[in-house]
Amino acid sequence: MSAASAVPPDSQLKTVEDLKGHKVAQFRGTNLQIATDRVLEKHGLAEKDIRFVSLDSNSATAALISGNVEASFGGSEYLDLAKRGAVKIIYSTKNDDPTLGRNAGLLVTAEFEKAHPEFTAKVVRAFVKGARFGSDEANRQAVFELWSKAGLPVESFEADFKDERLAHRLSPVVDDFIIARYKDQAARAKAYGLIKKDVDIDSWFETKYLKQALVDLKLENYWSTFDAKGQKATEGEVEHTKAASN
């Protein structure tokens, strides 16, 4: 998932560096906070340099448009607003270092997984089937229309995924890049003072259900895999299908 910084259309703020000392909305306590901290660090800033206000996505958008904050960090919700001239995006991780983005995963408690392995396997299989459908460029419009039912317009997803394969972000594969990202995020969360103890990230991953689902659905080689630095390690079959479009 990409992250972006938006400002009012008539704002004099033009770069991340310009945000220093200004009132900025951010949904704190989420993966956006660490992603934002990384972006700030890359641009020579830290949280203490910004006057952050914790607001959820909808509240942050309303505060930005009404002028109650001077900028906001968020995601694809700002793309359609920018297209309509309601906001101006001054930075996005979309075409930047791939390690600046955000990742999401399917979580289950150890107790549930141990007590109900069959249910866990069933849910993972369903997610993999959904990822297969969503990764197929032939389904691009259908995927965006499904996602738009959550409230964001189709145009936001079209802009967010422009010239990018769906499979690049919808792959369910747990590879070296994903594990490295979680380890890095945990280390940064501690460095930024968000958590106090080290986290054993390796113990978080149980991939046997995923591996079995990939075998059962004959998708072992469908998605590409990436090394810890985000460089392609193996090329998946999906790379040879219809190319990404708008």
Q: Are residues 93 and 124 in the same domain?
A: no
The whole-number average pLDDT for the span 216-229 is 96
The pLDDT value given to residue 216 = 98
**Per-residue confidence band for 171, with pLDDT thresholds at 50, 70 and 90:** very high
Q: Are residues 69 and 189 in the same domain?
A: no
**Per-residue confidence band for 192, with pLDDT thresholds at 50, 70 and 90:** confident
How many Å apart are CA 114 and CA 116, to the nearest integer?
6
The pLDDT value given to residue 55 = 96
Q: Are residues 119 and 234 in the same domain?
A: yes
Label the pairing between strands 4-7 and 51-54. Answer: unpaired
44-48, 113-117, 184-188: least confident range: 184-188
Does the pLDDT of residue 206 top 70, yes or no?
Answer: yes
The whole-number average pLDDT for the span 158-166 is 89
From 166, 168, 141, select the one nearest 155 (Cα to Cα): 141
Q: What is the pLDDT of residues 62-100, one digit of tens each?
A: 999 999 999 999 988 888 889 889 999 999 988 787 778
Residue at 45 is within a domain:
yes
The pLDDT value given to residue 97 = 79
Does the pLDDT of residue 245 top 60, yes or no?
Answer: no
Q: Are residues 236 and 129 in the same domain?
A: yes
Q: Are residues 173 and 234 in the same domain?
A: yes
DSSP, residue by residue, 161-173: TTTS-HHHHH---
Lookup: tokens for 135: 């990764």
The whole-number average pLDDT for the span 236-242 is 86
Q: How many domains does the chain have?
A: 2
Residues in the chain, overall count:
246
Identify the domain containing residue 143 by its residue range: 110-240
CA distance to 11, 26, 40, 67, 174, per residue, from 33 (Å): 23, 7, 10, 22, 23
The pLDDT value given to residue 62 = 95
Greater model confidence, 222 or 241: 222
Q: Are residues 84 and 172 in the same domain?
A: no
Q: Are residues 83 and 173 in the same domain?
A: no
Q: Are residues 90 and 181 in the same domain?
A: no
Greater model confidence, 28 or 223: 223
pLDDT cut 90: percent of the chain above it: 71
